[in-house]
Chains A and B, each alone.
Chain A
């Protein structure tokens, strides 16, 4: 550590005012504050109400909440891999495959994203802030296990430049950045991020007889008229992985899917961490689950012959990425509604739209991404109505 401190102090004058690399000061500062606690303190005459929670602490809490999803996702990649090729693997082997698949994606996501942050911070002369810490981890968690790395790089670059820096940087973005990256891939390279890409098979490996990579959403959407989706789920994969889409398995997350999104249980653990620490809004999380469940019930009543509409509503909560989106994407404090009442509307509408898109739009098998992006755009409008409703309510009882 002393060596680092000495090196930093040695080159520091070059970056300060008048130094030869003056323009690079903020890039230097970012590295310095990353390695050492900054020695600048609030002036005695400054703000009197203080809290240890700053942006860095907030971001770290979210990352800690994501760790269960990440670890489970790594194991699940290996698990699905061995199921698909019809072999059995130990816990260690499964983890190892998952790490080999996941780590490069994380490295690429952070590398590209932070690189762009540094460039913009230098050009715009503002400190590099921690805005990308969470996004850089969210992006890998919503990618398929064997997505080409160059696509991760392009999507991250697009999301950071167009989704964030174009609007003014951290805290100014209109839509969720990690979902922007995913939506970019979804529309730019649809064949690599939709269909049966959710299981890592490995080079030259052949799948077992009867193998199908269809996700629960695809199975439900393809269910024929008059059949029961639940029966389809239970009989799916009976020759190579019996019970892979049973309700219990769907809830625990032993199903193919994006790296971090499969396990509803792990997402709920993450939600608990977010809610207990006060980082994420419980109203939004409950709203999303409630909205999806309510819409599912409504469709059950209207279902008739349509199998997907008749699927029990609680299944909607465990298939696809609804839980992950509700916990980590919808609660993003920048893009969500800011008013407390607005958060209810925001969450409930996300849940409702997710189910609507899933059931009625065959082009988009998973609705949570599009539903959150849509409501991100509408969040300011919701806030506007909540605020003006509050104004009229208070004006009514005002006696002037």
Chain B
């Protein structure tokens, strides 16, 4: 049971933001997006996206957890016995989740209440565990950091797009600002957008648009 994508460690030192390293951040935003392509982390994407504010906080929280756990695991990667690596990873992730959880509770209490269990559930978020297994276990700390950030951003951008449409169509607002009322138009909230089904439909439309733009074809 070796790690899935254990890339060959290069001898020669490469520049900090080489093309390869930049790809680590940019790929997850589009062609390797954790939500729309790998279909990970869907659960929280449906749960916290009724409004933009909690979605933004959730995206930041997940980015911090993924990036920091990636770095820690990457530093420890050569000393972790492979038979107990999952529990070690969990211990590291839970450390960061508890830190983020407490920070949110201290500084943005109302948002923390809205997010409820979903901050705690970052620990089981497939994106975090997936990146640790697939990347951090086989790469140096700096690329791991970039990879964690990239996947966090990829998750965050989808969350924000979904939350934008859900809040706009569902409640006629953006970040709590009543857009339609501001331009003097009486908007009737669309109840479907506030249901999880609405998020599913928007994620589906995003995938549709993304595949059309990227010229994706299904292979059998």
A residues apposed to B, CB below 8 Å? 162, 166, 184, 187-190
Determine if A187 and B195 form an interchain contact, defined as CB atoms under 8 angstroms apart.
yes
B188 contacts partner chain A, Cβ-Cβ < 8 Å: yes
8 A-B pairs closest in CB distance: A188-B192, A187-B192, A188-B190, A188-B191, A187-B191, A190-B191, A166-B208, A162-B201
Tell me, in angstroms, the Cα distance from A166 to B193 when the chains sit together: 18
Nearest chain B residue, comparing its CB with the CB of A188? B192
Residue on A with the closest CB to B212? Answer: A123
Contact at A187–B197, with CB atoms within 8 Å?
yes
Contact with A along B170-214 (1 / 0, CB 8 A): 000000000000000000101111010100010011001000000
Assess the B208–A188 pair: CB atoms within 8 A.
Answer: no
Given the complex, which residues of A lie within 8 Å of B193, measured CB to CB? 188
| Complex contact B190–A189 (CB within 8 A) | yes
- Report the separation of the CA atoms of residues A184 and B195 in the bound assembly, to the nearest whole angstrom: 12
**What is the interface size of chain B, counting residues whose CB is below 8 A from a CB of the partner?**
11
B196 CB, min distance to chain A CBs, angstroms: 11
Closest A residue to B188 by CB, please name it: A189
Chain B residues with CB under 8 A of A188: 190-193
Interface of A, secondary structure class, is helix
What residues of chain A lie closer than 8 Å to B188, measured between beta carbons? 189
Q: Are A184 and B208 in contact (CB under 8 A)?
A: no
Give Cα distance in the complex from A110 to B205, angstroms: 24
Looking at the assembled complex, report how far the CB atom of B212 sits from the nearest CB atom of chain A, in whole angstroms: 10
What's the Cα separation between A188 and B188 when bound, in Å? 10
Complexed CA–CA distance, A189 and B197 (Å): 14
Q: How far, in whole Å, are A330 and B190 apart by their CA atoms in the complex?
A: 28
Could you tell me the distance in whole angstroms from the C-beta of A167 to the nearest C-beta in chain B?
Answer: 10
Q: Which residues of B contact A190 (CB under 8 A)?
A: 191
> What's the A-B contact tally at a CB cutoff of 8 Å?
19
CB distance from A136 to the nearest CB of B (A): 22
CA A162 – CA B197 in complex, angstroms? Answer: 13
Closest Cβ neighbor of B195 among chain A residues: A187
Chain B residues within 8 Å of A184, by CB: 192
| Whole-angstrom distance between the Cβ of A53 and the nearest chain B Cβ | 33
CA distance A162 to B192 in the complex (A): 14
Query: In the bound complex, how far is the Cα of B209 from the Cα of A166, in angstroms?
Result: 10
Nearest B residue to A161, CB-CB: B205
Which residues of chain A are within 8 angstroms of B205 by Cβ–Cβ distance?
Answer: 162, 166
Query: Would you give 12 A-B contacts (Cβ < 8 Å), ordered by A?
Result: A162-B204, A162-B205, A166-B204, A187-B191, A187-B195, A187-B197, A188-B190, A188-B191, A188-B192, A189-B188, A189-B190, A190-B191
Taking A187-B192, A189-B191, A190-B191 as known contacts, 5 extra A-B pairs with beta carbons closer than 8 A to each other, sorted by chain A number, are: A162-B201, A162-B204, A188-B190, A188-B191, A188-B193
Q: Which residues of A contact B201 (CB under 8 A)?
A: 162
Nearest CB on B from A381, distance (A): 20
Complex Cα–Cα for A54 and B193 (A): 39
For A192, the closest partner residue in chain B by CB is: B188
CB contacts under 8 Å to A, within B34-77, are: none
**Roughly how many angstroms separate A39 CA and B219 CA in the complex, as a whole number?**
38
**Docked CA distance A92–B41 (Å):** 60
A257 to B188, CA, bound (A): 24
Most chain B CB atoms below 10 A, which of A184, A187, A190: A187
A147 to chain B, nearest CB (A): 13
A122 to chain B, nearest CB (A): 15
Report the bound CA distance from A187 to B199 in whole Å: 13
CB distance from B110 to the nearest CB of A (A): 27
Least Cβ–Cβ distance between A280 and chain B, in angstroms: 30
Q: How far is the CB of B168 from chain A (nearest CB, A)?
A: 14
Please, which residues of chain B bring their CB within 8 A of the CB of A189? 188, 190-191
Contact partners of A162 in chain B: CB under 8 A: 201, 204-205
Residues of B within 8 A of A166 (CB): 204-205, 208
**A184: nearest residue on chain B (CB-CB)?**
B192
A374 → B minimal CB distance (Å) = 14
Residue of A nearest to B197 (CB): A187
Smallest Cβ distance from B88 to chain A, in angstroms? 42
Q: What is the bound-complex CA distance between A265 and B40, given in angstroms?
A: 51
Q: Which chain A residues lie closer than 8 Å to B208 at the CB level?
A: 166
The residue in chain A whose Cβ has the minimal distance to the Cβ of B169 is A188
Minimum CB–CB distance from A31 to chain B (whole Å) comes to 27
Residue of A nearest to B201 (CB): A162
Q: How far is the CA of A233 from the CA of B197 in the complex (A)?
A: 36
Q: How distant is B172 from chain A, measured CB to nearest CB, in Å?
A: 13
Closest to B170 in A: A188
- Mark interface residues in B118-153 (1 if CB within 8 Å of A CB, else 0): 000000000000000000000000000000000000
- Residue of A162, A188, A189 with most partner-chain B CB within 10 A: A188
Chain A residues near B191: list those with CB within 8 A: 187-190
Question: Would you give the shortest CB distance from A205 to chain B, in whole angstroms?
Answer: 23
Q: Specify which chain A residues have a CB less than 8 angstroms from the CB of B190 in the assembled complex.
A: 188-189
Q: What is the bound-complex CA distance between A184 and B197, given in angstroms? A: 11
- Among B190, B204, B208, the one with the most A-chain Cβ atoms within 10 Å of its Cβ is B190
Complex Cα–Cα for A190 and B190 (A): 9
Q: How far is the CB of A179 from chain B (nearest CB, A)?
A: 14
